[in-house]
């Protein structure tokens, strides 16, 4: 429906499809832009959020490997800002070509986005989010002795650094994003869940953490008064009893039903559960709001409630 405002949260497969080269990632984003243009052509005001896991991991690794007195490694929050600019630039270029081809004159802008968190969030006492490369146990312990960072063994594959994953409280740039969308600008923001920051003595301070991108996308949707949140992932639908003989597709589902399934343990903590929790929060934040969870290839149909899993209130 024209003039409806939507947030589209891109999954990692929208950016990277195997190869980490710039060319391969730009090619993946060109494919993504072709899918997104079908939504933009319908007249929606669109904000796009995205993941940055592999990209920020590579930037972090490059920083570590080149660290010296002359080229000191940058902290994680700064690496996150770098990844936002890089991915935003690629997606701007991809969308520009698609807009031109479709005869549309929308502008596209990337907003480097800071997300406020609570420095007393309990997540800071229990880092859980793995980032960066794998290390041997000896290498990990040397890193922990040398730096004030935490490593954990990761499913038999080696040791990885883990950082806190606090809850997003506020998107600092949400008024800017909203103003741009009011002028029909397509806004790319909140990359990788945003750059986690907190306020102290009227100063903004970055922290070494990673915010879940689905929770941050939900928060953005609330703050910019979005009508729909579209969460794109690798599967076309949400399922219960996933990959079991009694597997069931969820097409239209209420937040009450979805909460019950979540309490049954139907959704994996590291993958689908954050999407489900974000969907419930968004839909229940204001009457009439809906959330769609689907694959990139079905995004345009899902916005019209003709594909994917559509989540709504009773």
Joined together, the tokens standing for residue 147 give 């730096």
Spatial CB neighbours of 277, under 8 Å, sequence gap ≥ 6: 214, 215, 262
- CA 300 to chain CA centroid, Å, is 19
C-alpha–C-alpha distance, residues 21 and 203, integer Å: 37
C-alpha–C-alpha distance, residues 311 and 289, integer Å: 9
CB 29 within 8 A of CB 11: no
Q: Pairing mode, if any, of strands 129-135 and 159-163?
A: antiparallel
Whole-number Cα distances in Å, 107 to 35, 88, 93, 152, 299:
18, 13, 11, 44, 21
User: What crossing angle do the helices spanning 76-102 and 22-40 adopt, rounded to 10°?
Assistant: 50
Closest to 2 measured CA to CA, from 45, 59, 35: 45
Active site residues: 12-13, 129, 213, 275
CB 218 within 8 A of CB 283: no
Joined together, the tokens standing for residue 48 give 């796009």
C-alpha–C-alpha distance, residues 157 and 172, integer Å: 37
CB 43 within 8 A of CB 2: yes
Q: Pairing mode, if any, of strands 238-240 and 248-250?
A: antiparallel
């Amino acid at each position: 429906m024209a003039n409806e405002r939507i947030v589209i949260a891109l999954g990692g497969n929208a950016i990277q499809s195997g190869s980490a080269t710039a060319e391969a990632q730009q090619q993946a984003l060109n494919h993504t832009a072709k899918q997104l243009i079908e939504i933009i052509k319908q007249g929606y005001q669109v904000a796009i959020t995205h993941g940055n896991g592999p990209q920020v991991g590579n930037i972090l690794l490059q920083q570590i490997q080149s660290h010296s007195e002359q080229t000191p490694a940058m902290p994680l929050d700064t690496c996150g800002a770098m990844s936002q600019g890089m991915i935003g630039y690629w997606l701007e270029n991809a969308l520009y070509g698609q807009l031109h081809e479709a005869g549309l004159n929308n502008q596209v802008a990337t907003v480097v986005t800071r997300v406020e968190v609570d420095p007393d969030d309990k997540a800071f006492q229990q880092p859980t989010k793995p980032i960066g490369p794998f290390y041997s146990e000896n290498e990990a312990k040397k890193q922990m002795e040398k730096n004030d960072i935490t490593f954990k063994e990761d499913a038999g594959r080696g040791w990885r650094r883990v950082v806190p994953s606090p809850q997003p409280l506020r998107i600092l740039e949400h008024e800017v994003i909203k103003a741009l969308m009011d002028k029909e600008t397509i806004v790319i923001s909140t990359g990788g869940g945003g750059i986690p920051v907190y306020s102290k003595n009227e100063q903004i301070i970055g922290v070494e953490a990673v915010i879940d991108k689905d929770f941050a996308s939900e928060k953005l949707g609330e703050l910019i008064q979005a009508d729909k949140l579209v969460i794109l992932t690798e599967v076309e639908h949400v399922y219960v009893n996933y990959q079991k003989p009694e597997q069931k597709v969820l097409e239209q589902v209420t937040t009450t039903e979805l909460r019950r399934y979540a309490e049954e343990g139907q959704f994996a903590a590291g993958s689908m559960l954050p999407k489900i929790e974000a969907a419930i929060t968004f839909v229940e934040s204001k009457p009439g709001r809906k959330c769609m969870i689907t694959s990139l290839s079905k995004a345009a149909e899902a916005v019209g409630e003709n594909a994917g899993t559509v989540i709504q209130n009773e």
